[in-house]
């Protein structure tokens, strides 16, 4: 098996007092599809400038959780506050405003495949012209693409890009509105180890450059080790364990240990 | 097996599906009147819909006109009524054959491509991505496509009619020495607004049905690549069936007006 090249782990360790208010606060969240209970009282907080990684087996409800945060899925009960707003009570306009502060990197990149890279990046700006901060659209697009190292792909179609490039363009599309929070749905899934490493480094660079908080869900423990300041283990629809990678790796609990094999 | 194909054999599922399609249509009417309309995407879709089917519709129309004339001609000669060929051809083509054939071809061509396109956008989370970036995907994708097919189908039908009449003319000219002038004089003496208006109105409904079903199936596609295939396939099956139902209703309604 190919092993992932080593990268320096993220050094930012949080001091409880420095955290401030949570950007995302989730309490007792329940979500079921019919009688298939996916989330069973999940809770978590995401703080400023941190990289929080949630790991869980596939099918454990990680994507459902992310979608609840931006209300692509409605949850059943519990509270979910994003940037101070209770997400289930917002009208469409307020919801759009909150959503523009929350970037979402979808699992398969979700680039619009009938549009060029340029049009993909223009798309979020159509409805959020206020986010352009008086800047020229072309310049914003170029600078977002430059920060992922793909300025030369401006006029290509998504089908002409490799998997790793698609993921980066998708990240640029997310960054163009300068979100305060970025949600990553399995950012390294389906990528080879070298490309995964590049994406991980890019996420860390971007997080530094744009000063965002990131919520990353994954089942890739290498990715979790490198990126995370803090981790949550999602098992049976609850926050089963929480701590730094090292703390969790030292756990005796068999359900947590299972992730560190 | 796609679930909705089974539904044809299962009454409860059939009514469930009909209800969901009606709700989807209701949502279309709610959203279409709510500004802003996505003009650019609408124009693009009109172009795509028209351009995609232009050649196919033209070729089919031409062949249908030709074949129809060849098939009917001997019988008309037997009846000693061959002079009525242009009249009879034009009425059948304008009232019935043009609209239904064009609509069926478009159900196959446009309905399936909308089903597959929206289906794959759904499955790959592109629709979710639009939603979180502040664009209402229903307005951007569904409203524009349904409008585009509704507007373009009558145009395609008129073109198919024209080409089919021309196909029939070729046969008449080669076999019966009917001149271009005589043929089209007879054609236009026999087609009245009473033929054109119902058939154009009917074509709007056909277009609406094709767009609606294609979008409904694509927008609600199930996960996985199989979901995309099923969306395209079932869109064609259901919209073709629906076209015949609409055609029947249209004929019954126009019949009432002819009687008046
Ligand atoms: N729209 C849906 N309808 C029914 N079940 C769903 C739906 N979305 C997700 N699920 C179910 O919820 C569970 C969690 O899914 P998901 O969050 O996608 O898992 P993952 O942790 O791999 O991202 C899965 O069992 C899935 O089948
Ligand atoms: Mg997932």
Tell me, what CATH number does A93's domain have? 3.40.50.300
Q: What percent of chain B has pLDDT over 70?
A: 97
Interchain pair A102, B129: CB under 8 A = no
For a mutational test of ligand 1's pocket, the pick from A56, A59, A188, i.e. the residue with the most ligand atoms closer than 8 A to its C-beta, is A59
Interchain pair A106, B129: CB under 8 A = yes
pLDDT in tens, A200-231: 999 999 888 888 999 999 988 988 999 999 99
- Chain B environment of A144 (Cβ under 8 Å): none
3-state SS class at A46:
strand
| Closest approach of B156 to chain A, Cα-based (Å) | 24
Interchain pair A100, B134: CB under 8 A = yes
| A-to-B residue pairs, Cβ atoms closer than 8 angstroms | 49
- Chain A environment of B118 (Cβ under 8 Å): none
The mean pLDDT value of chain A amounts to 88
Phi-psi region of A41 (alpha: psi -120 to 50; beta: other; left: phi over 0): left
Q: Of A40-49, B45-54, B68-77, B224-233, which range is least confident?
A: B224-233
pLDDT, residue B193, reads 79
Q: Among candidates B211, B234, B233, B235, which has minimal Cα distance to B156?
A: B211
The answer to whether residue A3 scores a pLDDT higher than 50 is: no
- Name the residue in chain A with its Cα closest to that of B128: A72
State the residue range of the domain holding A187: 21-260
pLDDT, residue A69, reads 96
Residue A80 banded pLDDT, cuts 50, 70, 90: very high
**Extents of the domains making up chain B:** 38-259
pLDDT in tens, B170-187: 998 998 888 889 888 888
ipTM: 0.89
**Closest residue by CA, ligand 1 atom 17:** A61
The answer to whether residue A11 scores a pLDDT higher than 60 is: no
The answer to whether residue A81 scores a pLDDT higher than 60 is: yes
Q: Does residue A132 fall inside a structural domain?
A: yes
**Closest residue by CA, ligand 1 atom 16:** A61
Q: Does residue A235 fall inside a structural domain?
A: yes
Interchain pair B128, A123: CB under 8 A = no
Buried-state track B2-16, b at ≥16 Cβ within 10 A, e below 16: bebeebeeeeeeeee
Is the shortest distance between the CB of A179 and ligand 1 below 6 Å?
no
- Name the residue in chain B with its Cα closest to that of A173: B133
Is the shortest distance between the CB of A51 and ligand 1 below 6 Å?
no
Domain count, chain A: 1
pLDDT in tens, B97-156: 999 999 999 999 999 999 999 999 999 999 999 999 988 999 999 999 999 999 999 999
**Closest residue by CA, ligand 1 atom 6:** A33
Q: Write the DSSP symbol of residue B139.
A: I
pLDDT, residue B142, reads 97
pLDDT, residue A9, reads 47
The mean pLDDT value of chain B amounts to 90
Distance CA A145, CA B259 (A): 67
Q: Of A18-22, A98-102, B61-65, B107-111, which range is least confident?
A: A18-22
Is the shortest distance between the CB of A188 and ligand 1 below 6 Å?
no
The answer to whether residue A17 scores a pLDDT higher than 60 is: no
pLDDT, residue B150, reads 97
Burial of residue A229 (CB within 10 Å: 0-12, 13-18, 19+) is: buried
pLDDT, residue B98, reads 94
The answer to whether residue B45 scores a pLDDT higher than 90 is: yes
The answer to whether residue A2 scores a pLDDT higher than 50 is: no
Residue B202 banded pLDDT, cuts 50, 70, 90: very high
């Amino acid at each position: 098996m190919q092993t992932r090249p080593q990268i320096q782990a993220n050094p930012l360790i949080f001091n409880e007092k420095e955290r401030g208010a949570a950007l995302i606060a989730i309490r007792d969240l329940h979500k079921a599809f019919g009688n298939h209970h996916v989330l069973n009282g999940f809770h978590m907080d995401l703080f400023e400038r941190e990289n929080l990684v949630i790991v869980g087996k596939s099918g454990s409800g990680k994507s459902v959780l992310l979608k609840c945060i931006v209300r692509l899925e409605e949850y059943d009960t519990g509270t979910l506050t994003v940037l101070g707003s209770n997400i289930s009570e917002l009208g469409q306009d307020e919801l759009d405003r909150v959503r523009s502060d929350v970037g979402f990197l979808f699992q398969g990149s979700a680039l619009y495949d009938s549009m060029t890279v340029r049009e993909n990046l223009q798309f979020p700006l159509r409805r959020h012209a206020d986010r352009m901060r008086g800047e020229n659209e072309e310049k914003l697009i170029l600078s977002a693409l430059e920060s992922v190292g793909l300025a030369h792909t401006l006029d290509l179609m998504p089908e002409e890009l490799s998997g790793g490039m698609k993921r980066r363009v998708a990240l640029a599309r997310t960054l163009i509105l300068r979100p305060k929070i970025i949600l990553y749905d399995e950012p390294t899934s389906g990528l080879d180890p070298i490309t995964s490493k590049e994406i991980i480094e890019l996420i860390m660079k971007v997080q530094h450059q744009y000063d965002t908080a990131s919520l990353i869900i994954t089942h890739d423990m290498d990715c979790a080790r490198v990126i995370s300041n803090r981790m949550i283990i999602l098992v049976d629809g609850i926050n089963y364990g929480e701590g730094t990678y090292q703390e969790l790796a030292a756990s005796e609990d068999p359900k947590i240990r299972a992730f560190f094999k | 097996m796609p679930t909705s194909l089974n539904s044809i054999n299962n009454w409860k599922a059939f009514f469930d599906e009909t209800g969901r399609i009606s709700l989807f249509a209701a949502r279309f009417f709610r959203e279409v009147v709510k500004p802003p309309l996505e003009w650019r995407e609408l124009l693009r879709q009109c172009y795509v819909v028209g351009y995609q089917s232009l050649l196919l519709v033209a070729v089919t129309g031409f062949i249908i006109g030709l074949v129809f004339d060849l098939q009917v001609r001997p019988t008309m000669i037997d009846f000693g009524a061959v002079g009525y060929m242009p009249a009879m051809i034009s009425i059948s083509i304008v009232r019935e054959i043009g609209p239904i054939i064009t609509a069926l071809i478009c159900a196959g061509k446009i309905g399936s491509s909308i089903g597959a396109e929206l289906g794959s956008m759904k499955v790959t989370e592109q629709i979710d991505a639009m939603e979180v970036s502040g664009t209402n995907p229903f307005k951007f994708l569904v409203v524009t496509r349904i409008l585009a097919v509704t507007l373009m189908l009558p145009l395609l039908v008129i073109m198919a009619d024209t080409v089919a009449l021309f196909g029939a003319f070729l046969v008449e000219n080669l076999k019966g020495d009917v001149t271009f002038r005589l043929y089209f004089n007879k054609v236009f003496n026999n087609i009245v607004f009473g033929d054109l208006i119902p058939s154009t109105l009917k074509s709007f409904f056909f277009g609406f049905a094709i767009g609606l079903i294609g979008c409904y199936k694509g927008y609600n596609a199930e996960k996985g690549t199989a979901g995309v295939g099923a969306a395209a396939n079932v869109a064609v099956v259901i919209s073709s069936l629906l076209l015949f139902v609409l055609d029947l209703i249209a004929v019954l309604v126009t019949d009432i007006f002819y009687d008046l």
